[in-house]
Amino acid sequence: MNGPARSKMLSNSKADRCVAVMAALMAPGEQLLALADVTSVTPQSIGLAVTDRRLVAVPKTPKHPIELQAHRGQLRGVRLDKRLVFTYLIGITDTDEIEFGIALQEDRNFLQPFLDQFLAASSAGQAPREPIDGRVNPELARDSYRDPREPTAQASSGISLVKNSPQQASATDDKSTIADELVKLADLHQRGLLTDEEFQTAKAAVINGR
């Protein structure tokens, strides 16, 4: 049976949960196209779903409301925000910035064609937009969320852990960022994607804010 495309970083159990939640929350006729392991603690999400109509931060259960989403045609750009050891995927609309959560490099690569389609739909029939405050011109979508900087630490299975730069220190004061990153590290370690040493080093970097 055909189902949505799944990022390799998304475990089968989590993917199945996302499918079940989205099946209960999607509108009639809406199609689930893809699932990625882009997650957040506050508000809590267990993955990022791409449908033919919107991007959705999948809530824990169908009883929880969808708190983060961007409808097709609304997305104007995508940017990355490096914080402690992880990079966050942020969608840009005309009225808001939507922080979907932590996105590892493999998830960003997986999502690229789907985000390209959303950005193409948004820019159809419109004049090219100039980047504002780091926001991405839809015409440059293919390179818009590739990290231009090399990671300073390399974890197993292609996972990149990056150190924070001094210019980004203020962003790391947010308690939700610390919680997000500690939870993500624990998940990766439990799944065997980080060694004990990598986990302890990255955990210390998060706690110490560097």
Residues 190-209 have pLDDT tens digits of 888 888 888 888 888 888 87
Q: Which two tokens stand for residue 19?
A: 């499918």
HSE (CB half, 13 Å, CA atoms) of 153?
19
Return mean pLDDT, the chain: 77
Q: Is residue 185 part of a domain?
A: no
Q: Which domain holds residue 30?
A: 5-125
Domain count, the chain: 1
Contact 53, 27 (CB under 8 A): yes
pLDDT computed for residue 197 by the predictor = 87
pTM of the entire structure?
A: 0.73
In the predicted structure, residue 160 carries a pLDDT above the cut 50: no
> In the beta sheet, which residues pair with residue 89?
80, 101
CATH number of the domain bearing residue 87: 2.30.29.30
Per-residue pLDDT, averaged over 37-61, amounts to 93
Q: Is residue 38 part of a domain?
A: yes
Q: Is residue 186 part of a domain?
A: no
Q: How confident is the model at residue 123 (pLDDT cuts 50, 70, 90)?
A: low
